[in-house]
Chains A and B, each alone.
Chain A
Amino acid sequence: MTVPAIFAARGSADRLTGLFWRRPRLLLVLLLTPPLLWLGVVYLGSLATLLLQSFYSIDEFSGVVVPEFTLKTYAELLRPANFDVILRTVVMSAAVTLGCAVLSFPIAYFAARYAKGRWKAVFYLGVMLPLWSSYLVKVYAWKLILAKEGIITWAASATHTTAALDALLALPVIGGNSLSTSYLGMFAVFVYVWIPYMILPMQAALERVPTSMIEASADLGATRAQTFRTVILPLALPGVVAGSIFTFSLTMGDYIIPQIVGNSANFIGMAVYQLQGTAGNIPLAAAFAVVPIVIMLIYLGLAKRMGAFDAL
């Protein structure tokens, strides 16, 4: 006579294990509920409230928020002054992303292809080190570096290149009274602050480009430029796009750097801060806050098509 090989359950832990084994979905539900609640209530819930506020409007006379559905507030976004803010933010984000990509590529390429052993550690340290110090300290330091009487002006006069610096600052729109009060300076600070977020995913993508393919390309007679264009770049592109998601969204949401460096012209983050804080115009602040969300959704949709999420 054979006895089925089932041991009696010993204690509640065994019974629980048995229950989860028989009903694997139960465990799944139990594990997922807390994070889903967090995501659903705290995160998406507040987003929904924000969205709701943006459909309200402010009473022209009293400045009191009217809780009735209207698209008036969104129409206000299209007013020239408000549209300028959006355009300014998007153009700056795009420029910073492009700047980061161009600067990061050689660094990431070197780190992925040539750095070995200790040099690899030095590379990681070099990229990560700026992230260890306070963001505010870095921005204030840059304000001093870029100031009219700062080290760059001093270096320019020491090397007799003041004329070149002045010519740069005389450029329309992006120039200004000094680097620290111009868009050029703000661009430099943004690139400095966000570049690690571009280098790291880019390097990860470049490391995954198989050496055999590059060798094959060379064997088949491709020049270095051809190999780069037709083999390395397409294979590394998802990493570049992944990095660009960080730099683009981080620039678009930032409201500290435009306050400290630049000519005080508003960016989306600053506008939200001012409108909800001092003006009590929460509907317009909410409508402004929806703009980056929409832009990022479009951006993420495009990035997904390019396979950016394979490299994350």
Chain B
Amino acid sequence: MTIVKLMGTSALALMLGVAPVLAEMTAVGDGEGEVSIVAWAGYIERGETDKAYDWVTKFETETGCKVSVKTANTSDEMVALMNEGGFDLVTASGDASLRLIAGGKVQPINTALIPSWSKVDPRLQDASWHTVGGVHYGTPYLWGPNVLMYNTEVFKEPPTSWNVVFEKMDLPDGKSNEGRVQAYDGPIHIADAAQYLMFHKPELKITSPYELNEDQYAAALDLLRGQRALVGRYWHDAYIQMDDFKNEGVVASGSWPFQVGLLASEGLPIASTIPQEGATGWADTTMLHSDAAHPNCAYKWMEHTLSSNLQSDLAVWFGGNPVVPAACTDGSGMLTAEGCTANGMDDFDKIRFWTTPIANCAQGEGACVPYYRWVSDYIAVIGGR
């Protein structure tokens, strides 16, 4: 009966022109006994790292789908693994998801088959990094901001602007910020500079920090060259950054809630904020491979990932925000409303999510600077050019 109803819904969706004429699942049958997932480290926990964090075992007993996880370290690795095939699902970030859709490696999702879809944050349901032309290519999994982490002994009041890491200045303790701030050691940091300029130099007319024309791009690089003089070391490894805040006298830097949470839990005077310019961020989506061998288990897993209990524990474990807002307050897991606020749940509108810069952007065909130039130019900036 339910299946008939679901089929009816998707037929309706088809008639309304919401769904494309692509092979989309119309019903979830019995599980195939297993499901394989490409995921970020720490994204899918079965209680092996910490007994308290386990959202796999229960799923396996309930559905009979054995979960196998292949962890990937970068978005490029994820794309490569999916191109290779043999996996059912991937937790793709915004700089990988569109590439996967464009490459035809992931298939549209029939949201009618996922009862919990209605509980997903409305701000994420139609997000541009997984919805193309009204078609959904996955279910949101977790998101988070790149916050400004600071030392509360130096900053009695939270800094209100990113200028503490971009411009040479004296910090509230009277000493210069030279050598006491850090920046992310990845070309995507150019977007942070662009976002800063978006606020402070409106005459550049930047509309998106990921779509920069030559002039806007040059201005962002100039800002970063000034930053080079302030930064002793750029960070790319979360644990090295935490060590630098402990032993290297670093007091402010762009960072992830993950590091802030860990340092604060060790009793160090560390907090974070999202300054007036806003922040960049990441938002990950569970996507289904176009040749998935176990689609029924995959659909069951997607439904499972949207359960409030999993979202709650995942958000606490990884330091992100649940895509099901109820998880913040319903006490189904370890997450609390304060935890959500600390991870930036209320700042969604201030966040511009990571996407891969491409040459053909809203400003026109080939008007924007593509990502591979971001890479070589960022290398030059860090090298002091």
Contacts and interface: CB of A to CB of B under 8 A. Distances in A.
Interface of A: 58, 61-63, 80-82, 84-85, 88, 143-144, 147-150, 176-178, 180-181, 259-260, 262-266, 271, 274-275, 277-281, 284
Contacts of A177: 178-179, 232
Contacts of B234: 264
Contacts of A280: 76, 372
Nearest to A264: B234
A155 B376 CA distance: 40
Contacts, number: 100
Contacts of B68: none
Contacts of A61: 359, 366, 370
B262 interface: no
7 contacts: A62-B359, A63-B358, A63-B371, A84-B385, A274-B375, A275-B376, A279-B374
SS of B interface (majority): loop
Interface of B: 74, 76, 178-179, 185-187, 231-234, 236-237, 240, 243, 246-249, 358-359, 366, 370-372, 374-377, 379-380, 382-385
A264 B382 contact: yes
Contacts of A275: 375-376
B372 A63 contact: yes
Nearest to A76: B376
B376 A278 contact: no
Contacts of A271: 379
Contacts of A62: 359, 370
Given A150-B247, A275-B375, A280-B76, A81 B380 contact: yes
B181 to A, nearest CB: 10
Given A61-B370, A149-B249, A274 B379 contact: yes
A234 B80 CA distance: 54
B236 A147 contact: no
Given A176-B232, A178-B179, A178-B232, A278 B248 contact: no
A295 B303 CA distance: 56
Contacts of A143: 240, 243
Contact of A263 (B186, B233, B249, B376): B233
A178 B240 CA distance: 15
B359 A265 contact: no
A143 B185 CA distance: 18
